Structure formats: C-alpha cells, structure tokens
Chain A
C-alpha cells in the first residue's frame, strides 16, 4: 500500500492533466485547473520543507560542532531576518523585507553570478584550446559572438556584429532546435513512464 497509493495518485493526477489538454470540457477542465493550483500549493510546501531542512542542517552543525559550524548562525539569522520581516512588516516597498532584498539579497545574487565570469573565463581557456578542427570551430564561433557583443567588435570590422547575429540566428538556432526536440522527446517518454508507474525512483529507491 505504501507504494500503490502514491503510484495511483501519480497516475490519476497525470491522466487528468493529459486529458485536460485534449478534452477541455466539464468536468475535466475544472479538475485540471484545480490540479494546477494544487500543484503550486504543494510546491510551496516543498519550499517550506527545503527551508526547514536547511535550518535542521545548520542547527545540527552547531550542535555537533561540525566543520565551519561558526558560519551556521549567519545562515539562521539571515533566514530569520527575512522571514520575520516579511511576516510582520509585509513585502510592500520601503519595508524592512524590501530593504533587505534590494540591498542585500539582490546584490549578493548578481555578485555570485558575476563571479562565474572569472570561472567561465578559465573554463573557456581550457575548452578553447584548439585541439582539433571542431574545437577550433567552437573557439571561432564563441570568439565572434563575444566580439560582436561589444563595441570594439564593430570598431575592428563593421561586419562582426552581423556575423554574430547570423551565427545566433542560423547555426545556433539549428543546434538548439535539435537539442530542444530531442529533450522534448525525452520529457514525453519520461513523463509517460512516470504516469504509468514504470519509473518509480522519485519515490525513493526501486522497491
């Protein structure tokens, strides 16, 4: 029963969503619309679960004095500050939650992503070593796109931005389309396996 009920729920909810697409009439349309909203609600609960787990991990780190435990209070205080500020003062502008988001979370987020510029650059150095003609092709196309993005590209040769647009519009679209169509087929087959209970690893193990 521990396995059959979750699998039955997966099958019923999956079939409702598929039918909702092909038969958008009563009662399937009501069921499908409701299920989509229920999905969001359960997803929100999953976010709560993630936050609770984060707190559990850091309290445990402090309790057992594990590696880097001294930083765990920072995570806990950061979480509590946002949570309490949002809950008590609300999320409208010029409130503590908004202040902390605009001046702390958003700058840290963009700094974290901008840090990747340095690591991507070092990865590019390794990847772009022209070891064979296809790697040279990758190097050339990346170089043209990068050069076409900045004013110096047009200053070197006014056709470079046009070459960048062509690369992005034709070869890049062709490659991305092949990947997207392949991925879509993968999603369809994996979804069918999940709905029909063939793929069960999401329930934990293969029992």
Chain B
C-alpha cells in the first residue's frame, strides 16, 4: 500500500468535504467537521501527555536516577480535583484546581502583561519627534499622537466632551486606520491559506489521479 498517496487522498477528500460548505451546509461538511473536532481533541490529549505530563510531572516525580519526589503528588492531586468536575457528588473539588489555575495565571499575567504590553510599549513610544527628515518627524509624531489619543479614547472614566472628546476623536480616527490595516492583513493571511489548499489540490492531489487509474506515468 502506498501510504503517501493514501495520505494525499485523505487530505484532499477532507479538504473537499469542508469546502462543500461554500455551497451550503451538507452531510459531507458535517462529517468532516465532526471528524476534525474528535481528532483535534485526541491530538491535544496526546500532546498534553507527551509534552506536559511525561516531562513536567512523571519524570519529575520519578527521576531517571531513581527515587521519588513526593512534592509532585500535589499537582497530580490538583489534576484529579479538576477531573472531579465530571462526578456531580464531588464536583466541588474542582474549584480548588480552578482556584490554583486562576491564581497562578493571574499572578503570572499581571506582571508579564504589565512588563511586555504596558511598560515595553510605553518605552517603544518614547521616540524623538524632532530628528531626521520631514517624513520621519511626521511618522514619529503620528505614532506618539496616535498612542496618546488612542489611550484617551479608551479612557471611559471621564465623559468624552470638550478637549477630551476632541482628543478621543483624533484617537478613533487613527484607530480606524489601524483596524483597517489589521483587517486587510488578516484577510490576506486567510487568502494565503486558501492558496495553500488550492496548491495542494492542484499540484499534489490531481497528479495522483492518473497514477491511480494507471494512465500515463
């Protein structure tokens, strides 16, 4: 059995099943959609076992050199508490696991977001608006003004009237240009995926049809 051709045909059949949705919702699309959901779930479970549970839990609890690290029982217990959610009688235990996840996530994100998304962005905005050519000065000024006025637009503790309202108006204008650029970029990313799938069908799948029928090479 030629596994390569089987793989190409499976990929092509599932691709066509999913694209059939462009006509309208139909059993082929539903089949592929349900298969995708099931296989993705299976993939993530195995991914978690292989990349998280084995190296970060099992191998820490039972190190290669032998021995047993009892401290690693704790995350295992928290993991079991999380699974207790499916048993109604003890589902309350899952709150402890959720509490641990939320607490750690909040503590971790609070400092990392403040560092990378707030401080680093503010630092990046402190640029010269008086050096370089006219175009550089204009661009840098636009960047600084855009960030400040954009932030004013997102500041809802004060009514957007008077000078605040006018500043917020400048902010929304720059935000519209930014959203337009992001939107255009997103569309092109999707289009490139579409081109990739079409290339797969045209250059990988179609040439296998004559081979399979015994025509030509």
Contacts and interface: CB of A to CB of B under 8 A. Distances in A.
Contacts, number: 401
A43 B19 CA distance: 33
Nearest to A77: B38
B150 A174 contact: yes
B114 interface: yes
Nearest to B3: A99
B42 A138 contact: no
Interface residues of A, number: 124
B130 interface: no
A141 B177 contact: yes
Q: Is the interface of B mostly helix, strand, loop or mixed?
A: helix
B151 A36 contact: no
A11 B103 CA distance: 6
B121 A177 contact: yes
Interface of B: 3, 6-8, 10-11, 14-15, 18-19, 21-22, 30-46, 48-50, 52-53, 56-57, 60, 71, 74-76, 78-80, 82-83, 85-86, 92, 95-111, 113-114, 116-118, 121-122, 124-125, 139-140, 142-147, 149-151, 153-154, 171-188, 190-191, 193-194, 196-197, 200
Interface of A: 2-3, 5-18, 20-21, 34-54, 56, 68, 71-72, 74-83, 86-87, 91, 97, 99-105, 107-118, 120-121, 124, 127, 134-135, 137-146, 149-150, 166-185, 187-188, 190-192, 194-195, 202-204
